[in-house]
Protein backbone atom coordinates (compact mmCIF):
# COMPACT_ATOMS: atom_id res chain seq x y z
CA UNK A 1 0.00 0.00 0.00
CA UNK A 2 1.28 3.41 -0.87
CA UNK A 3 0.00 5.31 2.17
CA UNK A 4 0.67 3.16 5.24
CA UNK A 5 -0.60 5.76 7.72
CA UNK A 6 -3.94 5.97 5.95
CA UNK A 7 -4.16 2.16 5.79
CA UNK A 8 -3.33 1.87 9.50
CA UNK A 9 -6.08 4.40 10.22
CA UNK A 10 -8.54 2.21 8.33
CA UNK A 11 -7.56 -0.83 10.44
CA UNK A 12 -7.98 1.27 13.57
CA UNK A 13 -11.47 2.26 12.36
CA UNK A 14 -12.27 -1.40 11.68
CA UNK A 15 -11.27 -2.31 15.25
CA UNK A 16 -13.57 0.43 16.55
CA UNK A 17 -16.37 -0.84 14.28
CA UNK A 18 -15.94 -4.27 15.88
CA UNK A 19 -16.40 -2.72 19.33
CA UNK A 20 -12.73 -2.92 20.29
CA UNK A 21 -10.54 -0.29 21.92
CA UNK A 22 -7.65 0.14 19.47
CA UNK A 23 -5.60 1.81 22.24
CA UNK A 24 -5.61 -1.15 24.60
CA UNK A 25 -2.24 -2.87 25.01
CA UNK A 26 -2.96 -5.92 22.88
CA UNK A 27 -4.29 -3.86 19.96
CA UNK A 28 -2.11 -0.74 20.07
CA UNK A 29 0.28 -2.03 17.38
CA UNK A 30 -2.27 -4.17 15.52
CA UNK A 31 -2.84 -1.69 12.66
CA UNK A 32 0.91 -1.68 11.86
CA UNK A 33 1.08 -5.49 12.10
CA UNK A 34 -1.99 -5.99 9.90
CA UNK A 35 -0.63 -3.71 7.18
CA UNK A 36 2.77 -5.43 7.31
CA UNK A 37 1.07 -8.83 7.05
CA UNK A 38 -1.08 -7.78 4.10
CA UNK A 39 1.95 -6.31 2.35
CA UNK A 40 3.63 -9.72 2.65
CA UNK A 41 0.51 -11.72 1.74
CA UNK A 42 -0.01 -9.65 -1.41
CA UNK A 43 3.66 -9.34 -2.42
CA UNK A 44 2.90 -11.08 -5.72
CA UNK A 45 1.25 -7.86 -6.88
CA UNK A 46 4.73 -6.34 -7.10
CA UNK A 47 6.34 -9.30 -8.90
CA UNK A 48 6.35 -10.51 -12.45
CA UNK A 49 6.80 -14.05 -13.68
CA UNK A 50 10.08 -12.95 -15.25
CA UNK A 51 11.27 -11.75 -11.79
CA UNK A 52 10.42 -15.16 -10.36
CA UNK A 53 12.04 -17.17 -13.15
CA UNK A 54 15.15 -15.04 -13.64
CA UNK A 55 17.83 -17.15 -15.33
CA UNK A 56 16.08 -20.44 -14.52
CA UNK A 57 15.27 -21.39 -18.13
CA UNK A 58 17.60 -23.98 -19.65
CA UNK A 59 18.04 -25.37 -23.16
CA UNK A 60 17.49 -29.12 -22.88
CA UNK A 61 16.50 -31.87 -25.29
CA UNK A 62 13.98 -33.52 -22.99
CA UNK A 63 10.68 -34.77 -24.36
CA UNK A 64 9.12 -36.58 -21.41
CA UNK A 65 6.62 -35.14 -18.95
CA UNK A 66 8.00 -33.18 -16.01
CA UNK A 67 5.73 -33.04 -12.97
CA UNK A 68 6.20 -31.12 -9.75
CA UNK A 69 3.44 -31.90 -7.30
CA UNK A 70 2.34 -30.70 -3.89
CA UNK A 71 3.62 -27.13 -4.21
CA UNK A 72 2.19 -25.55 -1.08
CA UNK A 73 0.60 -22.13 -1.40
CA UNK A 74 -1.32 -19.60 0.65
CA UNK A 75 -3.53 -16.92 -0.86
CA UNK A 76 -6.30 -14.49 0.03
CA UNK A 77 -9.78 -14.75 -1.43
CA UNK A 78 -10.58 -11.47 -3.13
CA UNK A 79 -14.25 -11.73 -2.13
CA UNK A 80 -13.77 -11.85 1.67
CA UNK A 81 -10.03 -11.31 2.11
CA UNK A 82 -9.88 -14.59 4.00
CA UNK A 83 -7.15 -17.17 3.38
CA UNK A 84 -7.32 -20.14 1.09
CA UNK A 85 -4.50 -22.62 0.92
CA UNK A 86 -3.57 -25.89 -0.65
CA UNK A 87 -1.34 -27.59 -3.17
CA UNK A 88 -0.55 -27.01 -6.81
CA UNK A 89 0.53 -29.76 -9.22
CA UNK A 90 2.25 -28.59 -12.42
CA UNK A 91 3.24 -30.78 -15.34
CA UNK A 92 4.61 -29.93 -18.74
CA UNK A 93 6.18 -31.56 -21.77
CA UNK A 94 9.25 -29.56 -22.84
CA UNK A 95 9.99 -28.30 -26.32
CA UNK A 96 13.74 -27.54 -26.17
CA UNK A 97 13.53 -25.69 -22.82
CA UNK A 98 13.01 -26.65 -19.20
CA UNK A 99 12.48 -24.60 -16.06
CA UNK A 100 14.52 -24.99 -12.91
CA UNK A 101 12.22 -26.98 -10.63
CA UNK A 102 12.05 -24.29 -7.95
CA UNK A 103 10.83 -21.83 -10.58
CA UNK A 104 7.46 -23.60 -10.72
CA UNK A 105 7.03 -22.90 -7.00
CA UNK A 106 8.10 -19.30 -7.53
CA UNK A 107 5.62 -18.86 -10.40
CA UNK A 108 2.93 -20.25 -8.11
CA UNK A 109 3.80 -17.67 -5.45
CA UNK A 110 3.65 -14.78 -7.93
CA UNK A 111 -0.03 -15.52 -8.45
CA UNK A 112 -0.94 -16.89 -5.01
CA UNK A 113 0.43 -13.83 -3.20
CA UNK A 114 -2.39 -11.61 -4.45
CA UNK A 115 -6.04 -11.05 -3.75
CA UNK A 116 -7.18 -13.94 -5.85
CA UNK A 117 -9.74 -16.52 -6.89
CA UNK A 118 -8.57 -20.09 -7.30
CA UNK A 119 -10.02 -20.48 -10.78
CA UNK A 120 -8.04 -17.52 -12.17
CA UNK A 121 -4.87 -18.45 -10.28
CA UNK A 122 -4.92 -21.93 -11.86
CA UNK A 123 -5.13 -20.44 -15.35
CA UNK A 124 -2.50 -17.78 -14.64
CA UNK A 125 0.03 -20.40 -13.52
CA UNK A 126 -0.57 -22.55 -16.62
CA UNK A 127 -0.43 -19.56 -18.97
CA UNK A 128 2.80 -18.32 -17.37
CA UNK A 129 4.56 -21.67 -17.87
CA UNK A 130 3.27 -21.76 -21.45
CA UNK A 131 4.51 -18.23 -22.15
CA UNK A 132 7.96 -18.66 -20.59
CA UNK A 133 9.09 -21.94 -22.20
CA UNK A 134 6.51 -22.71 -24.93
CA UNK A 135 6.21 -26.41 -24.01
CA UNK A 136 4.19 -28.95 -25.99
CA UNK A 137 1.64 -28.89 -23.20
CA UNK A 138 1.00 -27.73 -19.64
CA UNK A 139 -1.26 -29.11 -16.93
CA UNK A 140 -2.04 -27.41 -13.63
CA UNK A 141 -4.29 -28.80 -10.90
CA UNK A 142 -4.98 -26.88 -7.69
CA UNK A 143 -6.60 -28.42 -4.61
CA UNK A 144 -7.44 -25.86 -1.91
CA UNK A 145 -9.40 -25.24 1.28
CA UNK A 146 -11.15 -21.87 1.58
CA UNK A 147 -11.67 -20.17 4.92
CA UNK A 148 -14.62 -18.25 3.44
CA UNK A 149 -16.39 -21.64 3.30
CA UNK A 150 -14.91 -22.97 6.53
CA UNK A 151 -15.28 -20.06 8.98
CA UNK A 152 -18.36 -18.26 7.67
CA UNK A 153 -21.35 -18.93 5.47
CA UNK A 154 -21.86 -22.68 5.04
CA UNK A 155 -19.06 -23.54 7.51
CA UNK A 156 -17.91 -26.78 5.87
CA UNK A 157 -14.47 -27.55 7.31
CA UNK A 158 -13.66 -30.62 5.24
CA UNK A 159 -14.51 -29.39 1.75
CA UNK A 160 -11.85 -28.60 -0.81
CA UNK A 161 -12.05 -27.10 -4.26
CA UNK A 162 -10.18 -28.54 -7.23
CA UNK A 163 -9.49 -26.59 -10.40
CA UNK A 164 -7.49 -27.49 -13.49
CA UNK A 165 -6.12 -25.84 -16.58
CA UNK A 166 -4.87 -28.03 -19.41
CA UNK A 167 -3.08 -26.53 -22.42
CA UNK A 168 -1.65 -28.00 -25.62
CA UNK A 169 -1.06 -31.75 -25.45
CA UNK A 170 -2.57 -31.95 -21.96
CA UNK A 171 -5.84 -30.69 -23.42
CA UNK A 172 -5.78 -32.27 -26.87
CA UNK A 173 -4.20 -35.68 -26.24
CA UNK A 174 -6.29 -37.97 -24.01
CA UNK A 175 -3.31 -40.21 -23.19
CA UNK A 176 -1.19 -37.23 -22.02
CA UNK A 177 -4.08 -35.92 -19.95
CA UNK A 178 -4.64 -39.38 -18.43
CA UNK A 179 -0.94 -39.81 -17.64
CA UNK A 180 -0.80 -36.42 -15.89
CA UNK A 181 -3.99 -36.90 -13.89
CA UNK A 182 -3.05 -40.52 -13.14
CA UNK A 183 0.35 -39.50 -11.76
CA UNK A 184 -1.28 -36.97 -9.47
CA UNK A 185 -3.90 -39.49 -8.31
CA UNK A 186 -1.41 -42.37 -7.84
CA UNK A 187 0.95 -40.24 -5.82
CA UNK A 188 -1.85 -39.22 -3.47
CA UNK A 189 -2.84 -42.82 -2.63
Catalytic residues: 77-80, 118, 146, 148
Q: How far apart are CA 118 and CA 121, in angstroms?
A: 5
3-state secondary structure of 155: coil
C-beta atoms surrounding 115 within 10 Å: 15
Q: Strand (E) positions, the chain?
A: 57-59, 66-77, 83-93, 97-99, 115-116, 137-146, 161-168
| DSSP strand pairing (83-93 vs 66-77) | antiparallel
Amino acid sequence: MKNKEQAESLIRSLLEHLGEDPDREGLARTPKRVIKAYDELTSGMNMTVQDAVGTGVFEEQCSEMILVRDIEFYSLCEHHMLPFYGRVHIGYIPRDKILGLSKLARITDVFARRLQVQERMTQEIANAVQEIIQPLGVGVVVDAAHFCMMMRGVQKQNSTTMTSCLLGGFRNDPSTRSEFLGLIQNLRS
